[in-house]
Amino acid sequence: MKIYHISAECYPIAKTGGLGDVVGALPKYQNLLGIDSSVIMPWYDKPFLREHLGQEVYTGQILQGNQSYHFSVLKLKKGVLGFEVYLIKIPGLLDRQEVYGFPDEVAQFIAFQHALLRWICDTNMAPDLFHCHDHHTGLIPFFIENCYDFQALKGIPTVGTVHNGQYQGWMNWENAELMPAFDISKGGLLDWYNTINPLAAMIKCCWAYNTVSTGYLQELFIEANGLEGLFVSEKAKGYGIINGIDDDIWNPENDPFIEANYAAENLIKGKQQNKKTLCKQYGLDFRLPLLSFIGRFAIEKGADLLAPAIQEISLKFKGKVNVLILGSGDSEIESLIRQIQFELKQNIAVIIGYDERLSHQIYASTDFIIMPSRVEPCGLNQLYAMKYGTIPIVRKIGGLKDTVVDLVRKNPNGIVFKEATVKDMISGVRRALTLYNDSTRLNELRKRNMGLDYSWNNSAAKYVQLYQNLINRL
Ligand code: NHF
C-alpha cells in the first residue's frame, strides 16, 4: 500500500505547530507497520534541507493565470527521517524561509497542489491513497476528480485530516483563475457561502475525513467556524483518531536536549536535576512548584488568560509557586505577558519565541503544564508532559478531554478544569499546589504518567485500517 501524506509542515524540516509533529512522525510509524508511506511538502529555504537534500527527481512547469512557473521535485537523502520526503520547489513561490504569512499565500498553496499532481501524473507515481492535512492541501481531492489534466488520478481514494478547523484557507472566487482548469459545473464543491473554501472542499470531496480526537469531532458538529453544518452532513464519513507522540524524539530516557536523562525508576532525581538547572538559568527558586505554559499566544489556546491568571496567582499564592512561559504569537497578548513579568519581577520567567530545545527542557523540569485552550483538536503538550512525568492541568475540551483524566476519577493522570476562565484556571492551580504538597501521591501520578502509552503505534494502525477500508471499496 502506497500512501502520500501531503502537508505544509513536517518536523524537523519545517514546523510551526502540532501539524509538523504529526506529519513528521505518522509516516515513520506507518512504515513500521509495513506500508509505504511518504510525505510531499513545499520546499523551504531551511538549514535542515540544505544539509540533507538529495537529488532532483523531476522538473516541470505549471500555469497560474497568465504566469508560468518552473518547478522541481527534490528528494530528501535516503534514511534521514525513516520515510521518503519529496519537496516541491517553485522559484518565486515556494522558495522562502517561512512557512506561512505571505500576501500571496493563496497562490503558493494552489501552485503547490497543482505542481505535485502534475509531477505524479507525468511520472506514473500514483499512490493507492492521498492523505491530505489541513486546508493547505484541501483542494487535492477536488482537483483529482475534476481537473482535466489529472484524469489519470481520478478515483484514487483520499483522506482529509482536520488538525485545526478554525483555519479554512478562504479565498475569493477570482482565485479560481489560478487553479488548473476544472469542470466548471462542479465549482459548487469549492464553494462555501460565495467564497472558495479549501477546507470545505476537502470535507465535501474526500472519501473520509478525520479529526485528531473524537472529542474534537463532536465539537465540530456544533461549532466549526461556519462549517458545522457541513461536518454534520458529511458525518457518515467522519472519524476521530487521536494523535500520538514520537517516542524517538520525546523520551526522557535518551533526550539529547535535556541535562539529565531519566526513566520512571529515577524520575524524582532526574526531574529534580533538570529543574535545578532550568530554574537557575531563569532565576527561579527550584524548591517551589513550577507551573509552565508552552505554545502559541492565541485566543484559541486561551493565552489571553495567562496575564490575568498570573496576576491572580501572585495575589492568591504569593511566593508559593513559580510560573514559566515559553511562547510567541499575538503581539497584544505578548505585551500583556511582558508587562506582568515586569510588574512582578519575582516568581516568573517569560521567554518569547519558539525554542524546540528549551521546550524539551521545560517538560523535563516543570511540575505542571497548564493548557487553558478554548479549542484543542488534540493537543500534544499534555502528551509530552505525561511522557516526562509532568502533570497536565487542562481545560475540558477536544483532545484534552479525551486524554487527561482528572484526579477525582479512576486512573487519573492530571487536573481538568471546566471553563476557559481565570477563575477555573486558578481552581486548577490550587488543586495542583495541594497535590504538590502530597509528595507520595504526586510521585505516584508522575510515575504512572510515564508508563502511559501515547505513542503512535495504536493511531498509526487506525489510519492504516481506514486506508485499507477505503481501498477495498474500489
Ligand atoms: O494536536 C496536530 C495539532 C493538534 O491540538 C493541536 C492543534 C493543531 O491545535 O494535530 O494540530
Kindly report, residue by residue over 188-202, the tens digit of the pLDDT: 999 999 999 999 999
| CA dist., res. 136 & res. 126, Å (int) | 20
Kindly report the average pLDDT of the chain as a whole number.
97
SS3 155: coil
Of 378, 474, 456, nearest in space to 37 by CA? 456
The CA–CA distances, whole Å, from 320 to 232, 287, 371, 403 equal: 47, 10, 20, 29
Exposure of 319 by Cβ count < 10 A (0-12 exposed, 13-18 middle, 19+ buried)? exposed
Structure confidence at residue 12 (pLDDT): 96
Pocket probe for ligand 1: among 21, 133, 167, 243, the residue whose CB has the most ligand atoms within 8 Å is 243
Cβ atoms of residues 147 and 176 within 8 Å: no
Q: Which atom of ligand 1 is nearest to the CA of 212?
A: 10
Atom of ligand 1 nearest to the CA of 161: 10
Q: Which atom number of ligand 1 is nearest to the Cα of residue 377?
A: 5
Test site for ligand 1: of 131, 164, 167, 403, most ligand atoms within 8 A of the Cβ: 164
Q: pLDDT tens digits, residue range 303-328?
A: 999 999 999 999 999 999 999 999 99
**CA quadruple 245, 216, 167, 135: dihedral, nearest 10:** 70
Return the C-alpha cell found at 294.
508552552
Q: Give me ligand 1 centre to Cα 70, in Å.
A: 33
Coil, strand, or helix at residue 167? coil
User: What is residue 23's predicted lDDT score, i.e. its pLDDT?
Assistant: 98
Task: Tell how far the Cα of 120 is from the centroid of ligand 1, in angstroms.
Answer: 29
pLDDT in tens, 409-422: 999 999 999 999 99
CA–centroid distance, 162 to ligand 1, in Å, is: 9
| Residue of 19, 241, 296, 401 with the most ligand 1 atoms within 8 Å of its CB, for mutation | 19
Burial classification of residue 453, based on how many CB atoms lie within 10 Å of its CB (0-12 exposed, 13-18 middle, 19 or more buried): exposed
Q: Of all residues in the chain, what percent are helix, strand and coil, respectively (each to 5)?
A: 45, 20, 35
CA distance 136 to 141: 12
The DSSP H or E segment spanning 420 is: none
Cα(401) to centroid(ligand 1), Å: 14
> For residue 393, what pLDDT band results from cuts at 50, 70 and 90?
very high
Measure the CA angle with vertex 373, ends 371 and 375; round to 5°: 145
Average pLDDT over residues 116-143: 98
Ligand 1 atom at minimum distance from 300 CA: 9
**Cα dihedral 147, 3, 135, 85 sign:** negative
Residue with cell 490550587: 430
Residue 366 contacts residue 290 (beta carbons within 8 Å) = yes
Q: Which H or E element spans position 473? A: none
For a mutational test of ligand 1's pocket, the pick from 22, 163, 168, 242, i.e. the residue with the most ligand atoms closer than 8 A to its C-beta, is 163
As a whole-number percent, the residues of the chain with pLDDT over 90 amount to 99
Ligand 1 centre and the CA of 8: distance in Å?
Answer: 14
pLDDT of residue 273: 98
Residues with CB under 6 A from ligand 1: 17-19, 22, 163-164, 212, 243, 376-380, 399
Q: Is the peptide bond before 12 cis (omega within 30 degrees of 0)?
A: yes
The answer to whether 133 and 7 are in contact (CB under 8 A) is: yes
Q: ∠ CA(20), CA(25), CA(26), 5° rounding?
A: 105
Cα–Cα nearest to 27, from 49, 54, 5: 5
| Cα 243 to ligand 1 centroid, rounded to whole Å | 8
- Strand-strand pairing, 158-162 and 208-211: parallel
Q: Whose CA is nearest to atom 7 of ligand 1?
A: 377
The pLDDT value recorded for residue 163 is 98
40: helix, strand or coil: strand
What atom in ligand 1 is closest to the CA of residue 380?
1
Per-residue pLDDT reduced to its tens digit, 6-23: 999 999 999 999 999 999
| The C-alpha cell that represents 98 in the structure block | 517561512
Å from CA of 97 to ligand 1 middle: 22
Residue with cell 464543491: 189
| Ligand 1 atom closest to Cα of residue 375 | 9
C-alpha cell at 44: 523551504
Model pLDDT, residue 145 = 98
Strands (E), 241-321: 290-297
* CB proximity list for 248: less than 8 A, separation 6 or greater: 28
Distance 430 CA to ligand 1 centre (A): 27
R_g of the chain computed on alpha carbons: 23
Q: Which atom of ligand 1 is nearest to the CA of 399?
A: 5
**Which H or E run contains 322?**
strand 322-329
Angle between helices 18-32 and 457-472 (to 10 degrees): 70
Q: Check residue 37 and give its pLDDT.
A: 98
The rounded Å distance from CA 18 to ligand 1 centre is 5
- At 333, the pLDDT band (50, 70, 90 cuts) reads very high
Quick one: what percent of the chain has pLDDT higher than 70? Answer: 100
Whose CA is closest to atom 2 on ligand 1?
18
Nearest CA to ligand 1 atom 3: 18
The C-alpha cell 483522506 sits at: 159
Mean pLDDT, residues 265-272: 98
The residues with which 191 forms a beta bridge, in sequence order, are 196
Q: What are phi and psi of 36, to 5 degrees?
A: -105, 100
Average of per-residue pLDDT across 368-388? 98
pLDDT-based confidence at 331, cuts 50/70/90?
very high
**CA geometry: angle 290, 292, 294, nearest 5 deg:** 160
